Amino acid sequence: MPMNPIMALGAGIISAIAVFSIAFGTVLAFPLFYLAPLPLYLAGLAMGGKGVMFSVLGTICTSSVLGGAILAAPIAIGYGVPLAMTCRRALEHRTNPDGTLAWHPVGSIVAAMTAFGAGILALGGAWMMLRTGAPTLQESVASFLSNALAAMAERMPVDTRHGMAQELARYFPGMAAASWIVMHFANASIGQSILIRAGRNVRPTDTYSNIDLPDWMSWLLVGGAIIALAGPGDLAYVGHNLVIVLLVPFFMLGLAVVHLQVRRRGLGMPVLVVFYLFLVVFGWAAFAVAGIGIIEQWVGIRGRFPAGQDQE
């Protein structure tokens, strides 16, 4: 049975409940919170604009009931806007001269979402810098994190809490925005896979290892690096966090390179499982993967791999 507006509305309600599961502190709270956008993408990728509209409406209304109307704007910005951007671009296509359909490239979708996240981060930083007599941005973020830690771990010593908050504050805005982008891309990918298996997909299967980024992503990254290195005070702080956000597409491109190498050498799924476990345990490895993505974007290394066993 094809998805209809009522089902899309229900998907939005389920998504909102998953978002608020984090407030109950259960073992499944974090996985549910991270998978909260999945029902939205199932509706949006299956129905297009109508699915986006009804699912986001369900999420906003349910969130308003559970947490108050003040949450409508954050929900719309954090879930509705990226959902609409992604689904619109994912379902865009043109007809080639030979009659085949050319779909919007995945890399362009990732780049657009990253630019949106970086823009929100930059605007938020600019707004906070315009406040008169306020502490620095890093001090403001550290204060927020210290209060959050106090609420979550009341028995934590004050000195330990402040020290942890100061350390986390250095890159917290960038890491939070980067995690948000990865969360949306992961849920969109999972949603598309589910729809393909169910035979309800509109867009055909993509080969992830063939992802390409638009050239302007490199210029954005260079611009963020210049701000981070040459900017004074708060501007440099914003620049450092912008670089983290702008590395996300290159991290995904680096993953594509790794996937292609594993596939062509016929190493199989166990190698990828070990690789992803390594990424989870050693967070710094993500920057190495992003470095591979930058090299691929600027030099091009996928075409230099031996053909080997080119299997999906």
The Cα 263–Cα 271 span in angstroms is: 10
What pLDDT sits at residue 312? 43
The Cα 253–Cα 57 span in angstroms is: 33
What pLDDT sits at residue 216? 93
What digits encode the pLDDT tens for the residues 219-234? 999 999 999 998 888 8
> How far apart are the two ends of the chain, measured CA to CA in Å?
30
Q: Over range 282-303, report the average pLDDT.
A: 87
Q: Over range 45-73, report the average pLDDT.
A: 86
Instruction: Assign 154 to helix, strand or coil.
Output: coil
Q: Which of 27-31, 154-158, 186-190 has the highest mean predicted lDDT (pLDDT)?
A: 186-190
Q: Is the pLDDT of residue 309 over 60?
A: no
- What does DSSP assign to residue 79? I
What digits encode the pLDDT tens for the residues 86-105? 999 999 888 888 877 788 88
pTM, entire model:
0.86
The two tokens of residue 1 are: 């049975």
Q: Compute CA distances 281 → 66, 158, 278, whole Å.
A: 35, 28, 5
Q: Please say whether the beta carbons of 289 and 258 come within 8 A.
A: yes
What pLDDT sits at residue 63? 85
Confidence of residue 305 (pLDDT cuts 50, 70, 90): low
What pLDDT sits at residue 310? 42
Considering only residues 304 and 67, tell me which one the structure prediction assigns the higher pLDDT.
Answer: 67
Q: Over range 42-67, report the average pLDDT.
A: 89
Q: Is the pLDDT of residue 25 over 70?
A: no
Q: Over range 264-289, report the average pLDDT.
A: 82
The Cα 101–Cα 249 span in angstroms is: 25
What pLDDT sits at residue 177? 92
Return mean pLDDT, the chain: 85
What pLDDT sits at residue 306? 57
DSSP characters over 181-230: HHHHHHHHHHHHHHHHHHT--SS----GGG----THHHHHHHHHHHHHHH
The number of beta carbons lying within 10 Å of the beta carbon of residue 39 is 25
What pLDDT sits at residue 311? 42
Between helix 285-298 and helix 248-264 the angle, nearest 10°, is 80
The Cα 33–Cα 251 span in angstroms is: 23
Smallest CA-to-CA distance from 45 within 183, 187, 191 is with: 191
Q: Which residue has the tokens 């970086």?
A: 118
Residues 6+ apart with CB under 8 A from 144: none
Q: Over range 13-39, report the average pLDDT.
A: 80
